[in-house]
Structure 1
């Protein structure tokens, strides 16, 4: 398999998954798209190891450990890798051939990939979060590395821009948590809402079991929304810290995240289980907003 073939497989993976936000979209500079797709293919498979299917926690952790070993093994060893979980051998080899090439070409910090795997492993072993710092620490490893990797692929490595990216990426992750609140609870027995925040407002998980929205949960959701929006606002300048088409991609991502948050807060006032999604009208407004920022 050539490097070009490996990147093509990664781009097919990126194109084949539904997400709130476009992955390696046409808003990105063409030179960045293969590298972003390689990062996405690496993270998508690892996230699926942690969440999808009926495998035991032990098996999931073993797959993630294998993913970490392949990341650390170098391109030569990865070229002979077998299938891992549901990912066939050819796709495993393509993912790591492209990922190793991306790390080298774009001078990326390999620890960012390892941080992602740390967060995915935590999803297997941890289902409750005591307080806000615990949630933010998870986001530091599950979301923030993605923004830093994208900036690195774009050639942006300064710390001030990276910190603004961290704020937006954490906000995106939180918005996704509140969007998937009911699904995470019902399907995975997982709750990212800090337990001390629930206790402060007198909210209990009984409402999650019945889909009732009592006054206590309305207060919780309102505070979660306020904290998340504050992070979006804090990180907004990152959208104009880059040039060219990437600026429009970051604007669209920011606008998409804030729209998801707004739609989620509207729904959560009526139901803790319904999952809001972006409409075609929402997407058109996001694209227009990115163009006329």
Structure 2
């Protein structure tokens, strides 16, 4: 039987807007995280495949889910994740949720409101953060801040790729009511440069995404695992850098991705700031001198 690996786009964890199983994460977690990433990446590539029809895409995604749940062994990405989760006695709930998002990608091409986009993020992005927290044994009380950060990361990506998604897949994540409020239309995404109306809409959505990212700001401080806290701090710096570009640039005609030197600078800044924060928080308070 053919494998879904043959449908991969060639994109790897090194091509994402955020670090995936980087050196910051403890080595004992990396194999599981990469198994999760490869499962999700392959399913995403299936949903975005230019030559597959809707029926075939949904059939592949159904096969991925069934094999993840133990019904078959033909797809290495599903089998590898199933085995990795079993070794840690973890359920596949987060991977199953992400598959729901990819089915939405196949069957839904437009979103009417911001709330509908957030609902999409509940399946496409929030489960990824929750998975990482579960891997590290964090409390579910961290989920709220994680959900906000992950949704912000997802919408950053939507804004960065808005023209490509429209031209290649006829898929638009920009809410129709936001476009209408700025006097813009979906068809404007087909241009080489954003019209003033479309640019106004994109910048307004970037500002709204920035506010969403602010809701996720407490996450690093809520995480007990030092390495994961550092990773989240770096991811947050990347997200802030990207949304700052999206607030002032035109993603149809300008670069809205971070350069390698910026990624390095944000990494150092994020790690340093989080280490200092944890050092100050954990510094013992000196006892007053006797008799004072």
1:136 corresponding residue in structure 2? 118
* Residue number in structure 1 paired with 2:218: 237
Matched, 1:254 2:230: no
- 2:63 aligns to what SS in structure 1? helix
Q: Distance in 2 between matches of 1:277 and 1:14?
A: 16
The question of whether the paired residues in 1 share the 8 Å contact of 2:152 and 2:209 is answered with yes
Measured on the aligned residues, the alpha-carbon RMSD in Å equals 2.0
Equivalent of 1:96 in 68, 75, 78: 78
* Residue equivalent to 1:4: none
Q: Where in structure 2 are the equivalents of 1:11-160 lying within 5 Å? A: 17-73=14-70, 77-78=71-72, 81-82=73-74, 92-93=75-76, 95-156=77-138, 158-160=139-141
Structure 2 unaligned regions, length at least 5: 1-9, 274-292
2:249 counterpart SS class: helix
1:55 Cα deviation after fit:
1.2
Residue by residue over 1:242-273, the C-alpha shift from the partner in whole angstroms, topping out at 9 and shown as x without a partner, is 222211111111111221222233322xx525
Q: Which residue of 2 aligns with 1:166?
A: 147
Query: Normalized against structure 2, the TM-score is what?
Result: 0.84
- The corresponding residue for 1:283 is 263
| Cα separation, partners in 2 of 1:60 and 1:14, compared to 1, 3 Å | closer
* Deviation digits for residues 198-255 of structure 1 (CA, Å, limit 9, x no counterpart): 1122111342222343332232112211111111111111112222221111111111
Contact 1:106–1:152 (Cα < 8 Å) also in 2:
no
State the distance in 2 between where 1:193 and 1:203 align.
Answer: 11
Larger Rg: 2
Tell me, what secondary structure is at the counterpart of 1:283?
helix
Of 105-114 and 234-243, more deviation after overlay is shown by: 105-114
Cα contact 1:264–1:275 (8 A) shared by 2: no
- What is the Cα deviation at residue 127 of structure 1? 0.8
In structure 1, how many angstroms separate the alpha carbons of the residues matched to 2:137 and 2:21?
Answer: 16
Matches of 1:246 and 1:70 in 2, distance apart?
30
Q: Secondary structure at the match of 2:218?
A: helix
Residue-by-residue CA offset, 1:160-200 (whole Å, 9 max, x unaligned): 20111000000000000001011111111111000011112
Q: Which residue of the other structure, out of 217, 222, 240, is the alignment partner of 2:198?
A: 217
The worse-fitting range, judged by mean Cα deviation, of 251-260 and 210-219 is 210-219
**Does the 8 Å contact 2:203/2:248 carry over to 1?**
no
3-state SS, counterpart of residue 60 of structure 1: helix
Q: 1:85 maps to what in 2?
A: none
Cα deviation code 1:99-149 (max 9, x no counterpart): 223333444342221111110011011111011111111000000000000
| 1:191 matched to 2:172 | yes
**Unmatched segments (≥5 aa) in structure 1:** 1-12, 83-91
Please state whether the residue corresponding to 1:32 is helix, strand or coil: helix
